[in-house]
Structures are given as C-alpha cells and as structure tokens.
Amino acid sequence: MPLLTDDYCPSFPFKNGHFNTIYSSLFRKIKPVLFKRKRIETLDNDFLDVDFIENGSRKIVVLCHGLEGSSNSKYIQATAKLLVLNGYSIAAMNYRFCSGEINRQLVTYHSGKTDDLNTVINNIIPNYDYIYLVGFSLGGNLILKYNGDGLFKLSPKIKANVTISVPVDLKGSSISLKRHENFLYKWRFLRTLSKKMYLKYQQFPKELDIRPLSKIKTLSDFDNYFTSKINGFKDADDYYLKSSSKQFIPNILKPTLLINALDDPFLSHSCFPFNEANESQNFHLITPKYGGHVGFISKGDFYWSEYEILNFLEKY
C-alpha cells in the first residue's frame, strides 16, 4: 500500500509504447493556452520565466516540464487547460534557458535542481492557500526529490503531488536510452542540448570548453561532459547518484502519485518503485501496462493521465 490499479486500455495502435510516445509528442493538436508570463529573479542573479493563468482561485498547480520541454509542451498545455476548467490557477515553470531566452549564469537546469522549484513556490505562497505540484519526466523527478530530500522546508500549503513518466533512477534510465530502438529520442534531445551548449560557450568562452561536443554520442556522454561539470558534480555517475529521486521516496510526507507505464521506452526496471510504494502511506504508484513516455493517449480532448492528475488533486 498504496499500489493502485488502473483502467487504461488504449486502442490497438497505442498499445505500442513508442507509438504512444511519439504520437502524443509530435501529432497531438492543442489550441494554445493564453499564459501571462512573470519573470522571477533568483538568488544567483539569474531568472526563471513562469507562465501563469490566474482566475481568482485560491488553488494553484505548479507544472514542471520534462527534458528540453517548456510551458509550450503539449502535455503542459493540455494539463493546464483541464485544470483551469476545473477551477485551478496555473503556474507553468520554464527552467533556465527553456523559455526561449538564454539565462544569465553558466549553470543549467537539471534533474536535481530543486532550488529553482523552491524559488517559484516561495514566490506564489503569499497569494494562494492550496498549492499542488505536477511534473512530467524530469519535472516529476524534481518534485519527488523536492518532497523527500529535506533540503527545503516544505510549506504546509503544498497539499499533494502528481508525477508522470518519471525516471526515478537516472542511471537506469540513461542506460535504457542507449538502446538502439531509442535512437530517435536520443537524437532529438542531443540536437537541442548541443545547440544550447554552443550558445553557452559564446556567453562564457573562458569558462566553458565545448570541444567534447564532437565526442558526444549518448545523453550520458552529455551529462558526463556538461550537465555534471557545469552544475558542480564530478561526473555523470555522481550527478545521477545525487539527483535520482528514488532514494528520497520513503521520506515523502505529502500525498503523492506516480504513474509510470510498463512500456515506457525511457524507463529501466529500476524506475518502478514497487517496494517504496508498498512501504509508504503517502506515495501512490500506478503502473499501467501501456502508455509510453508521457503518452497515455485516449479519446477526447484530454488524455487518460490528465484526468488521473485531476482526480488525485481533487481528493486534497
């Protein structure tokens, strides 16, 4: 307890994890949400662009996107739309260098950078009575780690968390992404990450050595040469070890839901924390047979996972 059952049964094509993943990312049609952007200054003289929908509600959901996503990501837009229809305000984070503008400092966003999440939460605390955190993939890892690592005192206004398709074991996920069938995902991530790193080099030519870019063939290579070094880790293994949220799940005190599909091409066996869920009163786990990575396609305007997010938040 609490291991939960699911009722997700997609039509035939979407019983393939890759198809569910790719279709939802590339072909889903969502009418753009009208956000109002606010720039939040950080303690290290950088900034975070957060996109708001404020409708007078005392309830707000902080949405955290995945690797190389933004508030424009289709899963963020759809989730925001559904939650607004049900009376929630929205704060959709854009991590550093994810809002369309390069950030000021050399440091980048990463799977364990909970201080930026804490900055956003502290900014909205005075205006809301109920705060909920919802994260996808990397954003889900941030939320789980934030709730369990003890680095920050969590506000009592935070009522619940929902996380979707989360690589709670970053090392295991990095190995899964090296598989040949995952070439497309790896290529898309490395293409945008490498472009960003070149722009960072133009910004910090003395501090950053981009020669290793020519050697990079995998995401773990990128993490080893850039993500880790820029953000104070020794190497990729050190980054994965310290930033993986799985180790912090037993410490989570807020009601929390994780939905990881068994056919998610990004996830290793170690990314399904069954034991942690069995031993926790606060951490709920659903592992549908199908769904892919941030997929969970279903008929209608909203996907199965988006309704699950709403249903869980409504309990708290």
The pLDDT tens digits for 126-154 are 999 999 999 999 999 999 999 999 999 99
Q: Please state, in angstroms and rounded to a whole number, the distance separating the CA atoms of residues 22 and 184.
A: 10
For the chain, the first-to-last Cα distance in angstroms comes to: 18
The token duo for 228 is 């880790």
Contact 173, 167 (CB under 8 A): yes
Model pLDDT, residue 141: 99
Report, as an integer, the average pLDDT of 290-315: 97
What is the count of structural domains for the chain? 1
The token duo for 141 is 């890892």
Q: How confident is the model at residue 85 (pLDDT cuts 50, 70, 90)?
A: very high
The token duo for 196 is 């960003």
Choose the weakest-confidence range: 3-12, 16-25, 64-73, 96-105.
3-12
Q: How confident is the model at residue 5 (pLDDT cuts 50, 70, 90)?
A: confident
Q: How confident is the model at residue 203 (pLDDT cuts 50, 70, 90)?
A: very high
The token duo for 26 is 């590339």
Taking each helix axis from N to C end, the angle separating 74-85 and 17-26, rounded to the nearest 10 degrees, works out to 80
Q: What is the pLDDT of residues 222-237, one digit of tens each?
A: 999 999 999 999 999 9
Q: Is the pTM of this model over 0.85?
A: yes
User: Is 80 exceeded by the pLDDT of residue 178?
Assistant: yes
Q: Which domain holds residue 33?
A: 3-314
Model pLDDT, residue 268: 98
**Between 2 and 16, the higher pLDDT residue:** 16
* Measured torsion, CA atoms of residues 148, 154, 159, 160, in degrees rounded to the nearest 10: -20
Model pLDDT, residue 6: 81
Q: How crowded is residue 129: how many other Cβ atoms within 10 Å of its Cβ?
A: 11
The token duo for 115 is 């201080």
User: Is 60 exceeded by the pLDDT of residue 1?
Assistant: no
User: Is 60 exceeded by the pLDDT of residue 71?
Assistant: yes
Choose the weakest-confidence range: 8-17, 121-130, 173-182, 260-269.
8-17
Q: How crowded is residue 250: how many other Cβ atoms within 10 Å of its Cβ?
A: 14
Nearest to 236 by CA among 291, 173, 298: 173
For residue 132, the cross-strand partners are: 61, 160
Model pLDDT, residue 291: 98
| CATH number of the domain bearing residue 228 | 3.40.50.1820
Computed over every residue of the chain, the mean pLDDT equals 97
Q: What is the pLDDT of residues 259-284, one digit of tens each?
A: 999 999 999 999 999 999 999 999 99
